[in-house]
A and B are shown apart, each in its own frame.
Chain A
Amino acid sequence: MSKRSSRSGDAAVDAVSFIDERLGAARGLRFLMDYVFPDHWSFLLGEIALYSFVILILTGTFLALFFDPSTSQTVYHGSYAALQGQSLSAAYSSTLHLSFKVSGGLLMRQTHHWAALVFVAAITLHLLRIIFTGAFRKPRDINYIIGLTLLILAILEGFAATHCPTTCSPGWASRSPGASRCHCR
């Protein structure tokens, strides 16, 4: 029943030993702290991609709380007058609700949109850096494949995400049901 306390009074030691005595993490932390990372400016390009992805996650979570990814038709009664009373998909209707009714909704939606575009651009810049510095060679070849997969997923996700609420891109009637009449529903 004795509580062996290893508090030494040094804040840093206490903090690290708190984790180490439960997870055995001190050696891992030492490895991480010793990790030497190149500080050339071209290594920041991948970080741009990373942080735009973080923004996508955060804004996307907010949007997901309001977005209804359903193609079921509802009659729209909201503040966008041009579509008042028309039969829209629940996805589009919830997107309009987000844009016009939800406080900060349009900000989140726009941030999400632009972060997605910058995400793909940053991945491409990062890819160019990898190629031109030969960082795709062994032992980082699998890493490179993973990165390419991320690029493809990012592009696919971009398509899927703009496809869902069917932003009224002019003339670009989509394949989704209801849009066969050339309405962006």
Chain B
Amino acid sequence: MSEDPHKRGILHRLWQAILMLTLWRIGALRRRRDPPEHGEADDPSRRETGAPEWAQHLIPALLALTALTGLGFVALFIVDPNTQLLGLCLGVGLALLASALILAGRFLVPQETKVEDRPMYGDREAVEQVAEQARAGLDGITRRRLIGGAAGIAGAGLTAAVVIPLVALGPGIEQQLSDTPWHAGRVLVDDEGNPILAANVNEGSFVTAFPQGAEKDNLGSPVVVVRVDPATLKLPADRASWAPEGILAYSKICTHASCAISLFRSPLSPTTQSRGPALICPCHYSTFDVLDGGTVEFGPAGRALPQLPLQIDASGALIAGGPMSGPVGPSWWGDSK
């Protein structure tokens, strides 16, 4: 579809006109203030007084309007504290105040240009005197290095003592990262505390589960339970019994930055899709392959997702077959598995 060159020309010219008008206005604002002439002395100091009448009327008017908007805000607050109206009132009031101040600064107060020499820092004499007095404080002390060194290591030692309590924020000295509430026989329960039956976990679905009776807030607690076709499993040999009927459980806490893994990519027709089922973290899209033990398929996670061995007990409920396969949560130094 070719553009009508005549139309384009008009639009183009219109745009150019707007552009030139804008630039001219800005330029006109510049020219209004005469730059000081380059005299022999080249001293830009000057002082201009004389507030024009219109400014001395307009500025009080703006300030009066500001007062009105302030009162309007008060009235609105009492009568109908609608957020948008309140914001509009306050915004307009502040804009009016700003306009008044800008105009006052430009047209009301005396316009003054002053020159100030850079302060000469570096008073050699005073520096010498201060240094002399500091050195005088060491008069009579002969073993200066010994005392200085002792003060240094005392400072270092106490600083270490002051700083070390911050370690309590982290994994901690006593609390092992691999301690989770999961152990053999612990029942998996859902958000409301009901045991999860194997029959209720359908292929293609995912369920969030917790250890029965344990704190949900513990980072090691939440797991994601999914069911896949057992024939597609590619678990390592030592985990062959961890997925009864193809039901798998993985930690819900991403090994990258411990967001909750809440995405489950579950292809409906494997014949037409090359990507298999995977758990994905919403924060940075670390993708964990569920079929081969939670290895990282994509994303910034540094290690595989810890897997929880599952068993189905006599009543058909899912129970843990042992502790997690590895530490839960973000990878940290020393842990690269």
Contact = CB atoms under 8 A, between A and B. Distances in A.
Interface string B80-93: 01010011001000
Interface string A157-185: 00000000000000111110111111000
Interface string A21-61: 00000000000001010000000000000000000000000
A83 to B, nearest CB: 15
B62 interface: no
B260 A179 contact: yes
B77 A104 contact: yes
B282 interface: yes
Contact of B83 (A110, A171, A182): A110
A99 to B, nearest CB: 9
A131 to B, nearest CB: 20
A34 to B, nearest CB: 8
Interface string B203-226: 000001000000011010110000
Interface string B250-277: 0011000111111000000000000000
A180 B114 CA distance: 62
Contacts of A179: 260
A172 B216 contact: no
A69 B59 CA distance: 44
Contact of A180 (B77, B121, B221, B283): B221
A118 interface: no
A36 B87 contact: no
Interface in A133-160: 139
A9 to B, nearest CB: 25
**B-side interface size class:** 20 to 34
A174 B259 contact: yes
A109 to B, nearest CB: 9
A178 B262 CA distance: 14
A182 to B, nearest CB: 4
Given A178-B216, A180-B222, A181-B216, A173 B260 contact: yes
Given A36-B115, A139-B121, A180 B219 contact: yes
Nearest to B329: A175
Contacts of B221: 180
Contacts of A172: 259, 282-283
A92 to B, nearest CB: 14
B116 A36 contact: yes
- Classify the interface of chain A: helix, strand, loop or mixed: loop
A13 interface: no
B58 to A, nearest CB: 22
A106 B83 contact: yes
Nearest to B253: A180
B292 interface: no
Given A173-B282, A180-B216, A107 B259 contact: no
Given A104-B77, A175-B258, A178-B217, A110 B114 contact: no
Contact of A173 (B83, B87, B219, B283): B283
A181 B252 CA distance: 8
A86 to B, nearest CB: 11
A103 interface: yes
B177 to A, nearest CB: 15
A95 B136 CA distance: 59
A171 B217 contact: no
Interface in B216-254: 216-217, 219, 221-222, 252-253
A156 B247 CA distance: 42
B191 interface: yes
A103 B82 CA distance: 8
Contacts of B116: 34, 36
Nearest to A138: B121
A174 to B, nearest CB: 7
Contacts of A110: 83, 87
A104 B259 contact: no
Nearest to A103: B81
Interface of B: 77, 81, 83, 86-87, 90, 114-116, 121, 191, 208, 216-217, 219, 221-222, 252-253, 257-262, 282-283
Given A172-B283, A173-B262, 19 more contacts: A34-B116, A36-B115, A103-B77, A103-B81, A104-B81, A107-B83, A111-B87, A139-B121, A171-B262, A171-B282, A173-B259, A178-B217, A179-B260, A180-B216, A180-B252, A180-B253, A180-B260, A181-B252, A182-B252
Interface of A: 34, 36, 103-104, 106-107, 110-111, 139, 171-175, 177-182
12 contacts: A36-B116, A104-B81, A110-B83, A110-B87, A171-B262, A172-B282, A172-B283, A180-B216, A180-B219, A180-B221, A180-B222, A181-B260
